[in-house]
């Protein structure tokens, strides 16, 4: 932690300083202390990390990860999830209350924070429950949760069902300066659905998740954000309707942010023809026109951020038929490469834009000290080989969950090293051995 | 059981068949469907209308693995297997291991390990036969996977039409009713389309998606308007058990708009065929005078069910024998 580290030979990619050029990064006491230090400024003793051929970027920030502890440790623990995050290049993740009991009290926030310290992996920030017991009725003690360290509030993985509750909470949170995250879906319209409702669900006879179930929720969300002037983040979104709505309100100057998952930028619902449960993910894989629209919306910043959508479920839960299998996938370790393959290789984004959507912008949305390599910032760094191709093999995952819609796919962009507070906590050359 | 009939001559009919599973009709070619129907017709003739026994498949075992209730399909498969000399073994979901928490795939593997040649499966979730075909080494036949497909039902409907009309090509066939939840519809449409029929899908918009038009089918909402053009009417059962929310205001209203009754028969062509996959809700999709009337071929469909299931068991078994002999010589 107190060591001085010089990362040399790589290309510094930092959207917060509009930086994308070869350079050296000097780290000490867990923080960035210089970019391109002069030889005279280097201390007598330091370690060098050779990043030749690689990108050196601020560590990735994930706006919504299910860690499943306490309550569902068979799916993922705080330890396994934070190790998976590191392997995926994430240095900060926001954990949703996909747990039992839910995270709606000072004590439960403290539990997660303690476990995170023990895990010593990626930094874990807590998303507190918006409603008491996640029941969607009364506000949880948002002020006290905030004091305990919760950085945002949400009822994720559930949608915020009550319009009145959302309005009240947006108003109340203005004094806390914490954002509310909504996973937009009208539950009643999506009930029983296993895949995108469209031509393929029609032919396969599988129950559909209609796009309107998301569109209507986004419409409600953005209208309430405008009415209350509250801080609202919607995501993950997956439909053309959501993009259209966000584009319109943003052009009017309404402050609202949105995120998308890499799988919705990469794959369409055609793969459901194999009936494999690893494709039962949420938001569902939609038809190709939605995929193309979402990619463009990431480019033009209608969608601000990319979040992994990590929803771990144990192997036995994912071994059933499509109705019985829960929505789930392991995506922390594939997120960067999936997004890079879908957006950078195809020429839609360059790397600095991708790092912006996966690190700098999410850090701003969450209001956490991350997403930047400016002098004085925590030395949370990811070193990426941008051209390395690799094949997704779930047996290599650190996550407990090995179900992924990308199994066997060839992706580009490999995480070489992940540093948290200046300390190398993931090193692919060591872990592969 | 009467003594063994003379074995039919199927040479030339079966050469091009190489599938070990029958999962759907959507992925079959027109020629493959014709082969299934031709063999079914030969076997029906050779068994004197599916009443006599042949020893084509003796020594083989067919497992019925039904996770959903069934009377006719299950018995039809059992009889088809027995008519060809195979043994049968029955598994139901109630009282079996799935009630104790076993996954359907584990149940199927257990049964396969007992040494069966075909697993005939029915399940409430689409795609389960596809999953079993990947997991098991024996032949898999889909006997209905939720609202997805029920290929032998589609085949028996095709066979029945062909027996009456000689050919499917050029006919106008309407499927009426609960298309949204009907596996019979989802098998019929592909079979009919591949064999050259014009297919009309008719019912209220809550049960008949306009998206079917993108796939080349005519969509209609008013039965009276299409009736005069139809050569065949297939009346699908309203699947109350699969509906989340009632897609029409009342059974009474549905019957008023879509039930095939004596009055509507007067709008139909003189030689229209009336079919129903059964079980029928008398008074909902069809009134008794039509169900039991001269245009109804509902009971012939049941007999033809045994014929097409014999055909499916036989053809899959041939392909399986070929596959296994190739594997054993290490090709």
pLDDT in tens, B178-198: 999 999 999 999 999 999 999
Q: What is the pLDDT of residues A340-395, one digit of tens each?
A: 999 999 999 999 999 999 999 999 999 999 999 999 999 999 999 999 999 999 99
DSSP for A332-344 reads TTTHHHHHIIIII
Nearest-CB residue to B105 (from A206, A276, A319): A319
Q: Specify the CATH number for the domain of residue A122.
A: 3.20.20.140
Same-domain pairing of A14 and A150: no
Alpha-carbon gap: A203 to the closest alpha carbon of chain B (Å)? 7
Residue A373 in any domain: the answer is no
Q: Report the pLDDT value the prediction gives residue B1, as an integer from 0 to 100.
A: 45
Q: Report the pLDDT value the prediction gives residue A169, as an integer from 0 to 100.
A: 97
Same-domain pairing of A362 and A413: no
User: Rounded CA gap, A196 and A259, in Å?
Assistant: 19
Task: Please indicate whether, in this complex, the C-beta atoms of A203 and B186 are within 8 angstroms of each other.
Answer: yes
User: Rounded CA gap, A332 and A89, in Å?
Assistant: 8
Q: Which CATH topology does B30-150+305-320 take?
A: Rossmann fold (3.40.50)
Residue A275 in any domain: the answer is yes
pLDDT of B331 > 70? The answer is no
Alpha-carbon gap: B206 to the closest alpha carbon of chain A (Å)? 13
Phi and psi torsions of A300, nearest 5° = -90, 10
pLDDT of A81 > 60? The answer is yes
Assign B46 a pLDDT band (cuts: 50, 70, 90).
very high
Same-domain pairing of A249 and A174: yes
Q: Report the pLDDT value the prediction gives residue B3, as an integer from 0 to 100.
A: 47
Give the pair of three-digit tokens for residue A2: 């107190």
Residue A219 in any domain: the answer is yes
Residue A128 in any domain: the answer is yes
Q: Count other C-beta atoms under 10 Å from residue B59's C-beta.
A: 9
Same-domain pairing of A261 and A189: yes
Same fold, B30-150+305-320 and B151-301: yes
User: Rounded CA gap, A418 and A57, in Å?
Assistant: 10
Q: What is the pLDDT of residues A221-247, one digit of tens each?
A: 999 999 999 999 999 999 999 999 999
Task: Please indicate whether, in this complex, the C-beta atoms of B26 and A191 are within 8 angstroms of each other.
Answer: no
Q: What is the pLDDT of residues A114-144, one digit of tens each?
A: 999 999 999 999 999 999 999 999 999 999 9
Same-domain pairing of A69 and A140: yes
Optimal mutation site among A201, A272, A275, A326, interface B, most CBs of chain B within 10 A: A275
pLDDT of B98 > 70? The answer is no
Q: Which of A200, A286, A199, A273 is nearest to B213 (CA)?
A: A199
The stretch B254-265 carries a mean pLDDT of 95
The stretch A72-91 carries a mean pLDDT of 97
The residue ranges of every structural domain in chain B are 30-150+305-320, 151-301
User: Rounded CA gap, B40 and B314, in Å?
Assistant: 9
Counting residues of chain B whose pLDDT is more than 90, the rounded percentage is 78
Optimal mutation site among A196, A203, A316, A324, interface B, most CBs of chain B within 10 A: A203
Alpha-carbon gap: B8 to the closest alpha carbon of chain A (Å)? 37
Same-domain pairing of A414 and A354: no
Nearest-CB residue to A322 (from B103, B127, B181): B127
For domain B151-301, the CATH class is: alpha beta
Q: Report the pLDDT value the prediction gives residue A430, as an integer from 0 to 100.
A: 83
Same-domain pairing of A343 and A409: no
Helix (H), strand (E), coil (C) string for A11-61: EEEEHHHCEEEECCEEEECCEEEEECCCHHHCCCCCEEEECCCCEEEECEE
Beta-strand (E) ranges in A130-274? 152-154, 180-182, 195-196, 208-209, 232-234, 256-260
Same-domain pairing of A63 and A50: no
Which B positions 32-91 lie with beta carbon below 8 A of chain A? none
Q: Report the pLDDT value the prediction gives residue B330, as an integer from 0 to 100.
A: 64
Nearest-CB residue to B215 (from A199, A204, A274): A199
Which residue segment(s) compose the domain that A424 sits in? Answer: 4-55+379-431
How many structural domains is chain A composed of? 2
Residue A125 in any domain: the answer is yes
Alpha carbon distances (Å) from A277 to B128, B254, B287: 11, 36, 42
Same-domain pairing of A287 and A422: no
Q: Report the pLDDT value the prediction gives residue B91, as an integer from 0 to 100.
A: 85
Task: Please indicate whether, in this complex, the C-beta atoms of B148 and A204 are within 8 angstroms of each other.
Answer: yes
Residues of chain B with Cβ-Cβ distance to A190 below 8 Å are: none
Q: Report the pLDDT value the prediction gives residue B70, as an integer from 0 to 100.
A: 87
Q: Report the pLDDT value the prediction gives residue B4, as an integer from 0 to 100.
A: 54
Q: Which of A366, A389, A409 is the last residue of a domain?
A: A366
Taking CB atoms within 8 Å and a gap of at least 24, the contacts of B213-216 are B214/A199, B215/A199, B215/A203
DSSP letter at A326? P
Residue A396 in any domain: the answer is yes
Residue A374 in any domain: the answer is no
pLDDT of B50 > 90? The answer is no
Q: What is the pLDDT of residues B60-74, one digit of tens each?
A: 999 999 998 888 899
Residues of chain A with Cβ-Cβ distance to B131 below 8 Å are: 275-276, 321
Q: Report the pLDDT value the prediction gives residue A431, as an integer from 0 to 100.
A: 63
Contact criterion met (CB below 8 Å) for A430 and A353 = no
Residue A371 in any domain: the answer is no
Q: Specify the CATH number for the domain of residue A29.
A: 2.30.40.10
Task: Please indicate whether, in this complex, the C-beta atoms of A202 and B212 are within 8 angstroms of each other.
Answer: yes
Same-domain pairing of A25 and A87: no
B218 close contact with A: CB closer than 8 A? no
B105 close contact with A: CB closer than 8 A? yes
The stretch A44-71 carries a mean pLDDT of 96
Q: What is the pLDDT of residues A292-349, one digit of tens each?
A: 999 999 999 999 999 999 999 999 898 889 999 999 999 999 999 999 999 999 999 9
Q: Report the pLDDT value the prediction gives residue B2, as an integer from 0 to 100.
A: 47
User: Rounded CA gap, A194 and A403, in Å?
Assistant: 16
pLDDT of B93 > 70? The answer is no
Residues of chain B with Cβ-Cβ distance to A204 below 8 Å are: 126-127, 148
Same-domain pairing of A62 and A49: no
Residues of chain B with Cβ-Cβ distance to A191 below 8 Å are: 244
Nearest-CB residue to A206 (from B123, B126, B212): B126
Residues of chain B with Cβ-Cβ distance to A322 below 8 Å are: 125-127
Optimal mutation site among A272, A321, A326, interface B, most CBs of chain B within 10 A: A321
User: Rounded CA gap, A237 and A290, in Å?
Assistant: 11
Task: Please indicate whether, in this complex, the C-beta atoms of A275 and B131 are within 8 angstroms of each other.
Answer: yes
Contact criterion met (CB below 8 Å) for A151 and A177 = no
pTM of the model: 0.94
Q: Report the pLDDT value the prediction gives residue B243, as an integer from 0 to 100.
A: 74
User: Rounded CA gap, A133 and B280, in Å?
Assistant: 48
Residues of chain B with Cβ-Cβ distance to A213 below 8 Å are: none
Q: What is the pLDDT of residues B273-302, one digit of tens each?
A: 999 997 888 889 999 999 999 999 999 999
Alpha-carbon gap: B190 to the closest alpha carbon of chain A (Å)? 10
Order across the sheet with A55-58: list the strands: A19-22, A11-14, A55-58, A381-391, A410-420, A423-427
Same-domain pairing of A11 and A71: no
ipTM: 0.93
Assign B108 a pLDDT band (cuts: 50, 70, 90).
confident
């Amino acid at each position: 932690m107190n060591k001085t580290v010089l990362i040399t030979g790589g290309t510094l990619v930092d959207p917060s300083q509009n930086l994308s050029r070869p350079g050296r990064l000097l780290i000490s006491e867990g923080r960035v202390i210089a970019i391109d230090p002069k030889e005279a400024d280097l201390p007598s003793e330091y370690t060098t990390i050779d990043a030749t051929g690689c990108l050196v970027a601020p560590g990735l920030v994930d706006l919504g990860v299910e860690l499943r502890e306490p309550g569902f440790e068979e799916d993922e623990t705080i330890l396994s999830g934070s190790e998976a995050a590191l392997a995926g290049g994430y240095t900060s993740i926001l954990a949703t209350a996909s747990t039992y009991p839910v995270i709606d009290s000072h004590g439960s926030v403290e539990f997660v924070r303690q476990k995170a310290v023990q895990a010593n992996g990626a930094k874990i920030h807590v998303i507190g429950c918006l409603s008491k017991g996640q029941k969607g009725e009364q506000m949880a003690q948002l002020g006290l949760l905030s004091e305990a360290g919760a950085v945002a509030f949400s009822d994720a993985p559930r949608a915020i069902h009550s319009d009145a509750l959302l309005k009240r909470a947006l108003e109340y949170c203005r004094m806390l300066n914490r954002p509310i995250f909504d996973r937009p879906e009208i539950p009643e319209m999506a009930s029983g659905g296993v895949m995108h409702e469209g031509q393929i669900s029609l032919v396969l006879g599988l129950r559909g998740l209609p796009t309107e179930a998301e569109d209507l929720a986004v419409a409600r969300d953005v209208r309430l954000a405008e009415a209350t002037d509250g801080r609202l983040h919607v995501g993950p979104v997956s439909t053309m309707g959501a993009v259209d709505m966000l584009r319109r309100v943003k052009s009017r100057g309404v402050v609202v942010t949105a995120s998308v998952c890499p799988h919705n930028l990469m794959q369409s619902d055609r793969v459901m023809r194999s009936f494999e449960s690893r494709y039962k993910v949420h938001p569902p894989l939609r038809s190709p026109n939605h995929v193309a629209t979402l990619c463009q919306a990431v480019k033009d910043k209608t969608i601000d951020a990319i979040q992994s959508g990590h929803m771990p479920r144990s192997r036995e839960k994912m071994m059933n038929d499509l109705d019985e299998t829960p929505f789930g996938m392991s995506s922390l370790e594939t997120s960067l490469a999936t997004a890079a393959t879908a957006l950078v290789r195809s020429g839609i984004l360059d790397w600095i834009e991708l790092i912006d959507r996966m690190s700098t912008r999410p850090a701003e949305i969450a209001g956490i000290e991350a997403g930047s390599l400016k002098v004085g910032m925590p030395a949370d760094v990811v070193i990426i080989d941008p051209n390395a191709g690799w094949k997704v093999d779930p047996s290599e995952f650190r996550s407990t969950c090995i179900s992924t819609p990308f199994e066997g796919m060839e992706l580009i962009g490999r995480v070489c090293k992940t540093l948290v507070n200046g300390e190398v906590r993931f090193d692919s050359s060591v872990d592969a051995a | 059981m009467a003594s063994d009939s003379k074995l039919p001559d199927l040479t030339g009919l079966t050469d091009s068949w190489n599938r070990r599973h029958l999962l759907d009709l959507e992925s079959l070619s027109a020629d493959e469907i014709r082969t299934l129907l031709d063999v079914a017709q030969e076997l029906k003739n050779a068994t004197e209308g599916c009443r006599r026994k042949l020893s084509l498949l003796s020594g083989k075992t067919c497992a019925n693995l039904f996770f959903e209730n069934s009377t006719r399909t299950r018995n039809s498969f059992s009889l088809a297997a027995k008519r060809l000399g195979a043994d049968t073994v029955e598994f139901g979901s109630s009282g079996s291991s799935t009630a104790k928490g076993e996954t359907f795939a584990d149940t199927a593997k257990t049964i396969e390990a007992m040494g069966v040649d075909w697993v005939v499966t029915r399940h409430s979730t689409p795609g389960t036969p596809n999953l079993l075909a990947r997991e098991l080494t024996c032949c898999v036949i889909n006997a209905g996977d939720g609202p997805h497909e029920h290929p032998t039902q589609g085949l028996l409907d095709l066979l029945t039409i062909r027996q009456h009309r000689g050919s499917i090509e050029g006919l106008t066939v309407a499927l009426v009713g609960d298309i949204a939840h009907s596996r019979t519809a989802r098998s019929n449409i592909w079979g009919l389309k591949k064999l050259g029929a014009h297919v009309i899908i008719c019912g209220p918009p809550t049960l008949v998606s306009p998206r079917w038009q993108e796939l080349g089918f005519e969509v209609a909402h008013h039965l009276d308007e299409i009736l005069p053009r139809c050569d065949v009417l297939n009346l699908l059962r309203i699947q109350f058990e699969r509906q989340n929310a009632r897609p029409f205001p009342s059974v009474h209203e549905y019957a008023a708009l879509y039930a095939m009754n004596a009055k509507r028969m007067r709008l139909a062509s003189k030689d229209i065929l009336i079919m129903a996959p059964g079980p029928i809700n008398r008074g909902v999709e069809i009134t008794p005078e039509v169900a039991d009337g001269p245009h109804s071929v509902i009971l012939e469909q049941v007999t033809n069910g045994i014929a097409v299931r014999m055909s499916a068991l036989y053809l899959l078994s041939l392909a399986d024998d070929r596959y296994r002999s190739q594997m054993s010589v290490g090709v």
